[in-house]
């Protein structure tokens, strides 16, 4: 629970898009509602989101 509450503000500070933050909050709520084993899935999705964001950022800087 502590990990989830610290990860979301961190992503916001890094500058993740609003849908990424919304998705993380949804996952966090789901983790709390279900059980802690969902945390692994949450981290995986989080990692995928970060990768997509990094790829988009790289493409954006190349097209300038």
Which pLDDT value is given to residue 51? 80
pTM: 0.38
Per residue in 5-43, pLDDT (tens digit) is: 555 555 545 555 666 667 777 777 776 656 656 667 777
Domain ranges of the chain: 2-63
Q: Per residue in 14-53, is it b (16+ CB within 10 Å) or e — as a string?
A: eebeeebeebbeebbeebeeeeeeebeebeeebeebeeeb
Which pLDDT value is given to residue 9? 54
């Amino acid at each position: 629970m502590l990990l989830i509450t610290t990860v979301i503000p961190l992503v916001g500070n890094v500058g993740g898009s609003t849908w990424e933050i919304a998705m993380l909050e949804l996952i966090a709520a789901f983790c709390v509602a279900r059980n802690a084993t969902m945390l692994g899935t949450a981290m995986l999705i989080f990692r995928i989101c970060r990768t997509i964001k990094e790829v988009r950022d790289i493409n954006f800087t190349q097209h300038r």
